[in-house]
Amino acid sequence: MRITCPLCGDRDRREFYYYGDAVYADRPAEDAAFETWDDYLHLRDNPAGETRDLWYHELGCSAWIEVTRNTVTHEVLSTRLLTDRAGGGGATPGKSAAKGKERAK
């Protein structure tokens, strides 16, 4: 599979780290209801068709990228920087993980 990084261009998917569903970029507010956090952390759709995923260009520019692809045909439909999403994309997964580690100390 080939992924087009918006900064680096067309690359082999092995240059990227797959993070998961793009919903991870839509982190709820810290004081959100338990059900909202439960949905964010545990409930995922598993569609046959179009999905949005987060990929990290680990062996390239270190950008977080939202990839829209079709799970049936394996076609990559579009890519964009996470920071180009409406509202700026919220917290990147790496930053969220770092915050969690800081709190655990």
- Binding residue for Zn ion (CB under 5 A) from 22, 25, 55, 57? 57
Whether residue 64 contacts residue 82, with contact meaning beta carbons closer than 8 Å, is answered with yes
Q: Is 7 in the site for Zn ion (CB under 5 A)?
A: yes
- Binding residue for Zn ion (CB under 5 A) from 37, 60, 83, 96? 60
Measured from the CB atom, is 25 or 82 closer to Zn ion? 82
Q: Is 81 in the site for Zn ion (CB under 5 A)?
A: no
DSSP 51-100: EEEEEE-TTTT--EEEEEEETTT--EEEEEEGGGSGGGGSS-HHHHHHHH
Contact residues for Zn ion (CB under 5 A)?
5, 7-8, 57, 60-61
